[in-house]
A and B are shown apart, each in its own frame.
Chain A
Amino acid sequence: MKSAPTLSSAFLKPAGESLPQPLLALRKERGKALVDMPLPTRKTENWKYSSRHLKLSDELANSLPAGGATTDAAAGGYRIVIRNGVVDASTSVLPQVEGLSVQRFADLTDEDAAELARSLDSTLDTRATQMARLNSARFEDGLLIRLKPDTVVDQPLFVIHEVTATAAGSAFPRIYVDAGRHSGMTLVEEFLSSGDESAMVDAVTEFTLADGARITGVRLVAEGQNIQHIGATGVRQLRSSRFESHCVGFGGPLRRHDLRVRLEGEGAECKLNGVVVTQDKQHYDNHTCIDHMVPNCNSEETYRNIAADESHAVFNGRIHIHKDAQKSNANMNNKNLLLSTGAEIDTKPELEIYADDVKCAHGATIGQLDDTSLFYLVSRGIARREASVLLTMAFINELVAQIPVEQVRNSANERLNQFFDDAFREA
C-alpha cells in the first residue's frame, strides 16, 4: 500500500524567538509531536470531504513577514490588529477597562507565560484538529485576554486578523481568553487579507469561561481567494456560564473551522450559529462538536449553508452526551441550499449519547428554493431574480440578524449582497 503523505519538515521550523521561554518550550514540544504527521486524506474521517482542497507546498511553510499595509477594517470600538500572526501595537486601540487585561504573548512575564503554556490547547481535541495543531508549534505571537471576576466590557473588542500575502507563506495567529466569574465580553474576530500570493492562515482561539461568565464570539471569515484558512476555536464552560458563537464565512480555496465546546459545569449553555456562502469553485467546511460532560446543560446549534456554481460546502456537527450527563438538552439544525447542480453540499449531523434522560434532536435538509414561495412572489409582480434573492436572503437572514454587533452585521450584509448579485447573475 502507498503510504500517506506526511507533513513536510519545512513546516516545523518556527520563526520569532522573542516569546518568553515557557512558550518557546511549548512550541518545541508540540512541534516534536508533529514530525511525520500524516496529512489528511479522503480516508481521514474528519477531512473526508475537504482533504482534496488542502494544498500544502514547502513555500507555504515560510513565515509571512510582519509589517505591511493596513486594511481599513471596521472602525470604532476597541481594536487590535494581528498582522501575519503578530500583534501590531501601533494600529491597535486598546480598551482601558478596569479588570480587563490584554497582553501580547511576547510581553508576558515568565510566570504568566508558564501558566499560559499549561492552559494552551486544553480546550481543543487535538486528535480531531490535526491541522490546527500546527498553530501550537508555530505561533510567533498571540493575545492573552484576561477578565477579572465581575468585569463586563462595555463594547465589543475587535481583533482584525490581517494577512499581507506579498509572498507565499503562512500566519499563525493565536488568542487565549480567560474569563473570570460573572465576567462578560464580546470578541469579534475578522479575517481579512491583502496581496495576491498564495498563503495560509492557521488560527486558533481558545476561551475558558468560569462560573457565570457570558462570552460572545463573533467570527467573520472573508479572506481573499489566494488564502487557505484553517481555524480552530475551543471553549470550556464552567457552571452556569453562557457562550454564544456567530460565524459568518465566505468561501475560498480552502476554508475550515473546527469549533468545539465542552460544557463542564452544570447549568452551562451554548448557542452556536453559523452561516456559510460559497460560489465559483470555493470551499467551506465547518466542523462543530459539543460535549455535554455534566448534567443539566443546554446547547443549541443552527447552521445554514448556501452553495452556488461549482462550490463545495461541508457541515459536520457532533453532539456528544457523556455518561451521567442526564437532563441534557441538545438541539442541532442544519439547512442547506444548493443553488446549482455543479455544486456539492455534504452534511453529517452526528449524535453520540451515553445517558438516557436526555432530549436530543437534530435535523438536516438539503434542497432548493421552494417553487411555491417563488411563484407567490412572482405572481405579485416581483421579478424572478429579485424573488430568488429575497428568498435566499430570508434563508440566512434569521441568523445574520442575531449577530449582536451592528458593524459586523452591516459588513456581513454588504458582502452577502455582493454574493447574491453574483450567484443570481444569470437567473
Chain B
Amino acid sequence: MATTDKEVKELIKREYEHGFVTEIEADTFEPGLNEDVIRRLSAIKQEPEFMLEWRLKAYRRWLEMEEPDWAHVGYPKIDYNSISYYSAPKRKEDMPQSLDEVDPELLKTYEKLGIPLHEREKLAGVAVDAVFDSVSVATTFKEPLAKAGVIFCSISEAVRDYPELVQKYLGSVVPAGDNFFAGLNAAAFSDGTFVYVPKGVRCPMELSTYFRINAANTGQFERTLIIADEGSYVSYLEGCTAPMRDENQLHAAVVELVAMDDAQIKYSTVQNWYPGDEEGKGGIFNFVTKRGTCLGRNSKISWTQVETGSAVTWKYPSCILRGDNSVGEFYSVALTNNYQQADTGTKMIHLGKNTSSTIISKGISAGRSSNAYRGLVKFQPGAEGARNFTQCDSLLIGDQCGAHTFPYIESRNKSAIVEHEATTSKVSDEQMFLCRQRGIDPEQAVSMIVNGFCKEVFKELPMEFAVEAGKLLEVSLEGSVG
C-alpha cells in the first residue's frame, strides 16, 4: 500500500472553485446588532408592524440565551457585534422587474456557479430564487408557477404580499426562542424564500434557491418557509457557496416546513460553503436550524443533504410527525476533510399513530477533520404503532480524523419499534487492491468506493443534484488518501 499512499498523497489538490469574490457595490450595515439595527432592517424591507414586533421580541429573548456548547465541535468565540447584519447589492432603482434589470455582474456570478438562473435555460426546468448576501436578487419562472397557483418568492416579498400566511406560519415550527442561533436568525433574518403550494397542486417543477455570501464581515441569516397544503407536492433544492476568506463567516439560517393532510415536501440541500484552507484557516460557520412538521394525516417530509463545505457545521434537519400515518425521512452524506468539523444529524419526534421514519446517515472523515452524527428518535405515548429505522455508517480515511455517533433513542410507547445500527470502517486494502488490480488509479478507486458508500443517499437526490454531489465528493476528497 505504501506506493499507493504516496501516489495518492501527491494527487493534485483542486482548490475550492467557488472561492471568487464578486466586485459589486453593496449597501452594508456597520457591524453590530441592536434594536435600532433591527428597526432599520425592518424599515428597509418595508415590513408590516407585526414583523418588527416579532423580530424585537426575538431579539430581547436572544439576549438572554446562551450559545450552546454541547456539540462535538470547537471554534473561537464569535463576537456577534463584529458582524454586519445586512448587505445588499446596491441598486439604483427599486427591485428589478425582470432578469434584464439584474446587475450583469451578479448574473455572471451565478453563471460561474453554474446556476440556471436565466429563463432561457428552460431545459433545466428548475425555478430559482437566488439569494446574494442578505437579499434575494432574482426569482425565475414566476409566471408558470403562478399559473399553477404556487407562490414562490423571497420572504421579504411574502411578508408584504401575503402577511396573513406569514403571520400564521412563521415561527410555528421553529419558534423564535427555540435555540440560540434560531433566536439570532428570528431577530435579524434578512431574506430567504417563501413557498406556498395550494391544495391538491403538484408543483410543476423543482424549486431551488442558491445562497451566496459575498461581502466580507457579514453574516447570512436567511429564513425559508415552505407550506404544502392538502394533497400537494413540492420538491425544493438548496445550494450554497461563499468566497475564500481568511476570517470565519457566520451563516445562521432557519428553515421551516409545514405539510398538511396528504402533502409531501422533499427538501434537498447541497451545502458547499467555503470550508477553510488546508490549515483550517477561514471558512463558514454553518449553524442552521431546519425543522419540518407533518401536521396532517399521511403527510411526508423528506430531507436529503450532502454536506461537504463549511468549517464548522451544526445542523439537525428534523421532523415532527404529528399527523397520523405521517412519514419522516432523513438521508445525509456529510464529508469532512482537513480541519473541518461537522456535528449533524436529525430529530424524529413521533407524536401521531402509525408514524414512521427512516434515517440513513453516511459520514466520511478525512484529513484531520471530525465528523459526528447526533440524532434523536423519540416516541411519545400517543405514537401507537410507530416505527423507526436508523442506520449511520462512518468511513474513515486517514488516521488523524475522528468519526462519532451520538444517537439518542427515547421510547414511551410499547407498540413502537425502533432499530438503530451503526458501523465504522475504512476504505479497506482489499477493496483498493481489487480496483487497482483492474487498472483503476487510486484516486478514482477511492472515489468509486466512497460513491458506493453514499449511494443510498445519492439516489434520493434530484438528478442534477446527484451529479453535482458526486462531483463535489471527488473534489473534496482529493489529496485526502494516505
Taking beta carbons and an 8 Å cutoff, which residues of A are in contact with B? Answer: 1, 45, 49, 323-324, 326, 336, 338-368
Contacts and interface: CB of A to CB of B under 8 A. Distances in A.
Contacts of A350: 404-407
Contacts of A326: 399
B399 A366 contact: no
Contacts of B402: 352-354
B421 A357 contact: no
Interface of B: 64, 70, 379, 381, 394, 396-426
A341 B381 contact: yes
Contacts of A368: 414-415, 417
A361 B424 contact: yes
A360 B424 CA distance: 5
Contacts of B421: 361-363
Given A326-B399, A348-B408, A356-B396, 19 more contacts: A339-B414, A341-B414, A342-B381, A348-B406, A349-B420, A351-B394, A351-B404, A351-B422, A353-B394, A354-B401, A357-B399, A358-B396, A358-B426, A359-B424, A360-B422, A361-B421, A362-B421, A366-B409, A368-B417
A351 B405 contact: yes
Given A341-B381, A344-B411, A355-B399, A366 B416 contact: yes
Nearest to A363: B421
| Majority DSSP secondary structure for residues of A touching B | strand
A358 B401 CA distance: 13
A312 to B, nearest CB: 9
A346 B404 contact: no
A352 B401 CA distance: 11
Contacts of B401: 354, 356
A304 B15 CA distance: 50
A247 B480 CA distance: 44
A348 B409 contact: yes
16 contacts: A338-B416, A341-B414, A345-B410, A350-B406, A350-B407, A353-B402, A356-B399, A357-B399, A358-B396, A358-B426, A361-B423, A362-B405, A363-B419, A363-B420, A364-B407, A366-B411
Contacts of B424: 351, 353, 358-361
Given A349-B422, A350-B406, A351-B405, A341 B397 contact: no
Contact of A365 (B413, B420, B423, B425): B420
A345 B422 contact: no
B413 A338 contact: yes
Looking at A341, A355, A362, the one whose CB has the most chain B CB atoms below 10 A away is A341
Contacts of A1: 64
B70 A365 contact: no
Given A356-B398, A360-B424, A343 B417 contact: no
A45 B396 contact: no
Contacts of A340: 414
A324 B399 contact: yes
Contacts of B399: 323-324, 326, 355-357
B414 A343 contact: yes
Contacts of A338: 411, 413-414, 416
B325 to A, nearest CB: 19
Contacts of B397: 356
Given A323-B399, A339-B414, A356-B399, A361 B409 contact: no
A364 B421 CA distance: 7
A348 B377 CA distance: 10
Contact of B404 (A49, A341, A353, A355): A353
Given A359-B425, A361-B424, A363-B421, A45 B70 contact: yes
B426 A356 contact: yes
A22 to B, nearest CB: 38
The 5 closest A-B pairs by CB, nearest first: A356-B396, A351-B405, A360-B424, A367-B417, A364-B420
Contacts of B426: 356-358
A367 to B, nearest CB: 4
A356 B424 CA distance: 9
B420 A341 contact: no
Contacts of B422: 349, 351, 360-363
A343 B412 CA distance: 6
B407 A349 contact: yes
Looking at B64, B70, B412, the one whose CB has the most chain A CB atoms below 10 A away is B412
B417 A353 contact: no
Nearest to A345: B411
A196 B425 CA distance: 52
B267 to A, nearest CB: 27
B423 A360 contact: yes
A3 to B, nearest CB: 13
Given A353-B404, A357-B426, A360-B423, A341 B413 contact: yes
Looking at A339, A343, A348, the one whose CB has the most chain B CB atoms below 10 A away is A348
B414 A365 contact: no
Given A351-B422, A359-B425, A341 B405 contact: no
B403 A366 contact: no
Contacts of A347: 409-410
B405 A366 contact: no
B352 to A, nearest CB: 15
Contacts of B425: 358-359
Looking at B381, B400, B422, the one whose CB has the most chain A CB atoms below 10 A away is B422
